[in-house]
Amino acid sequence: MTQMLIIGPPGSGKGTQASRISDRLGIVAISTGDIFRANVKEETPLGIEAKKYIDKGEFVPDSVTNNMVRDRLKQPDAADGFLLDGYPRTSGQVDELDNILAEAGTQLDIVLQLTADDEELVQRLLGRAAQEGRSDDNETVIRRRLALYHEETAVVVNRYAERGIVATVDGIGDIDEVTERIMNALKSVTA
């Protein structure tokens, strides 16, 4: 059983790589972004609240996100392992995830950190916005999301680095090459 998370700035390829890792390891990939977007599209109460923050490039409040993740990790498909994408993003969320996992008698095995240059990420996200028509991806919002990532999420990486479970991988390059870098990094940390 592998319990891991993937972390990195918006546009670093987390979703693409999470899907590939999930397939290779036989674990469910859980993306908070996908859950938020589904709720926004369906105009659920959570989606309406989340949209207010997403449209401004802000993170959805911890209270909403924590409850959503807690419920999701209780689903049967997460019992044999999982890959979290987009959570935790703050120190408070690290504490909450620790509590959720402790209640289940387990802990994270590895944190995979994808890295990429901010200017490259802005261009990637603008291209994605044009292709997919995503209202949450204009240049102002993208730059705000990147700034928030650097301000808040870096603390998360540092907390896990103190535990010795972070594997850092360059997220720039051909998708297959990045996947192979990730699989090699996972082997070195879990060996």
| Residues belonging to the active site | 14, 89, 128, 134, 145
- Binding-site positions for AMP read 32, 37, 58-60, 86-89, 93, 134, 145
- Binding-site positions for ATP read 11-16, 128, 173
- Binding-site positions read 11-16, 32, 37, 58-60, 86-89, 93, 128, 134, 145, 173
Query: What string of H, E and C letters represents the secondary structure of the chain?
Result: CEEEEEECCCCCCHHHHHHHHHHHHCCEEEEHHHHHHHHHHHCCHHHHHHHHHHCCCCCCCHHHHHHHHHHHHCCHHHCCEEEEECCCCCHHHHHHHHHHHHHCCCCCCEEEEEECCHHHHHHHHHHHHHHHCCCCCCHHHHHHHHHHHHHHHHHHHHHHHHCCCEEEEECCCCHHHHHHHHHHHHHHHHC
